[in-house]
Structures are given as C-alpha cells and as structure tokens.
Amino acid sequence: METTLLRRVLRRPLRGSLRQVRHVRPVPPARARGLVAEVYGQAEREFGMLAPPVALHSPAPEVLAACWMMLRETLLAETHGGAGRATREAVATGVSRGNACPYCVGVHGAALGGLVPSSKAGLAPVEEWARSGGAAPFPEKGSAELVGVAVTFHYLNRMVNVFLDETPLPPRTPRLARGVLMRTLGRLMRPVGGGVEPGGSLGLLPMAPLPGDLSWAAGTPEVAGAFARAAAAIEAAGRRSVPGPVRDLLAARLAGWDGAQPGLGGAWVEEAVADLAAEDRPAGRLALLTAFASYRVGGSVVDAFTEGRREDGALVELTAWASMAAARRMGDRMARESFSRFP
C-alpha cells in the first residue's frame, strides 16, 4: 500500500523529469501513440515510473521497445532461475560503477537499499563480479537473468551517460534533501503485488533468431526472446542511421576488446577515424566514444553528428547501436569467463 501510494504521488514529478534529457526531445506522455504509448503504459504500471533512461529512446520507437524489453525481462520479471530482485539490483549497481555512470549507480543503489535496508555485504561478491567480471559467485543455473541484467546495464549506462546528467534529481534540489529523496526513490522501485510476469513485453517487437553472442540467454525463453528481438531492432536502427564504414570500424575495434577503458587523451579516437571519409567522421567519433568511453561524450561531439539533421531519431539510433554492440561484447565475455558451457 505504501509503495503504491508513493507511485501515485510521485508520478507527475517523475514525468516532469523528462525535461532533464539532453540532445533529444522525448515524446511527452500525453502525446504518445502506438508503440511509444504501449511502452510508456507498461513502464508506468510495472516499473512504477516513466524513467528518463527509458523515455529518452522515444524518438526511435522500435529502439524504445527494445530497451524496455531488455530491462523488463531481466531486472523486473519474476524469473525461474532463483535470483531475487535484490541480487539483480546488485548486478545493475556493479555494472554501473564499472562504467562510471553515477546516475544509474544512484538509482539502483537506492533501489538495492530499499530492498535490503540493513547490511548488503552478502551481495558484495555479485556486485564486484558485475563491476569487473571474472568467475561468477552464483550457480550457472539462472545465469541468463543475471548476465542479462549486466548486458542491459552495459547498454543503458552508455545511453544515460550521453543523454542525462549525473543524478535523477532536479538540478536545484537542496543538498540536505537529496538523501531523503533518493531513499524515497528506492522505496518506490520495490516490487508491488504479485510481481511482473515473464514475457509480457515480447509482443512489442516481432520474433527474431538469437545471435550467437547472446547464446547465454538460450536457456531462459523469455530472456532469449527479449534479447533476440531487441538485437534485431537495434541492428535495423544501426543500418538506418550508422554509415557502413563506421559499423565496420566499431566491430573491428570491439572484436579484441577486453573491457578496459581507453586512455585519457583523445588521440585514439582521431587515429581510429582517420581513414573514414570526412562526412563519416562525426558519426565515427560519436560511435566510438559511446561504446568505449560514454562518460566523455560532450555536446560538441553530438552537435557535429546532428548538424543538418532535423530528427532526433538518428541520434538515438546511432548511440543505441554503439551501446548495444559494446554491451553484447561484454556479455559474451562475462559468460565465457564465468561458465563452462561457454568455452
């Protein structure tokens, strides 16, 4: 009852937080139609809010559905693998720490605190695995859900770093009030009622085959269905909005990537895009930075790509494609290092 009341009281200000999204204009809830309206409705019912990290995708409806589908079927849905919501929130928090995404660390750290209000020491090994990789501190059974959470947040962290500030709170929130508001947000995100049924989002996008680098999801039909559909939608977005040479460049760079952060300077980016045609270099810079160092994507990099473009959809599609390419690489690597059936 308390959490339901909180959601009703805070729904309006949470919707107002969409004004914090930069570079693109999310579709306002009152104007949402079709697929966007479907996703918005599910998100508010099942997540308790229309969160800016989801809504920022709305200029590209299929990518919006892909993002929500991954989030819902891994973090929120009641799974058969035995991993509770607190364990999944620990994975989300750990990945977000590793990706230097303070927004997601704040939100999901608060959610974890709301679920485990006393000591979280028992979840520390799970959070550390999510942050740095290595052998998983949980059984292989049910791993699809937790690897899925990790991949989802490797994706979302990059999008959040590009499009949102460091905190979900309004810029003028008094310092003394921030802790109270974040704890309230954590309570808001607790599951309500009977939980979220697996597979409820799969009808948003058409069926698709599961790519080989997502084979870790194969043992859990709802997770596999979500990632197969999401990957297909984001790949189609990439074909629309990312020049072919840029897609090839990023794929080559990711092939041998071990997850390490690039150096502090920007010389590696300029070296990487040097062989691209001049008209493709802005897209190349944005894609590379989104994939490897999203916290360093500045307004000038975005502006160089969007110059002459009137629609926000292309920007969402390019960054989503780059984010998903990096997230898939990290998920494949985590599964191979953690579980014997991924040699």
Q: What is the mean pLDDT of the chain?
A: 87
Residue 100 has pLDDT above 90, yes or no: yes
What is the DSSP annotation of 220-267? SHHHHHHHHHHHHHHHHHHHHHS-HHHHHHHHHHHHT--SPPPPSSSH
- Whether residue 104 lies in the annotated active site: yes
Residue 110 has pLDDT above 70, yes or no: yes
Which of 170, 156, 167, 131 shows the shortest CA–CA distance to 259?
131
Average pLDDT rounded to a whole number, residues 308-332: 94
Buried-exposed string 21-40: b where 16+ CB fall within 10 A, e elsewhere: bebbebbebeebeeebebbb
Residue 217, pLDDT score: 94
For residue 7, what pLDDT band results from cuts at 50, 70 and 90?
very low
Residue 128, pLDDT score: 93
Residue 171 has pLDDT above 80, yes or no: no
- Segment among 37-51, 148-162, 211-225 with least mean pLDDT: 37-51
Residue 5, pLDDT score: 42
Token code pair at residue 152: 């989802």
Residue 3 has pLDDT above 90, yes or no: no
Upper half-sphere CA count for residue 313 (Cβ side, 13 Å)? 15
Residue 210, pLDDT score: 98
- Tokens 């300029």, residue located: 270
Higher pLDDT, 80 or 260: 260
Specify the pTM: 0.91
Token code pair at residue 293: 């160092």
The answer to whether 7 and 46 have CB atoms below 8 angstroms apart is no
Cα four-point dihedral sign 44, 238, 232, 87: negative
Selected catalytic residue, list 70, 104, 223, 273:
104
Token code pair at residue 94: 């750990």
Which residues have CB under 8 Å from 118's CB, separation 6+? Answer: none
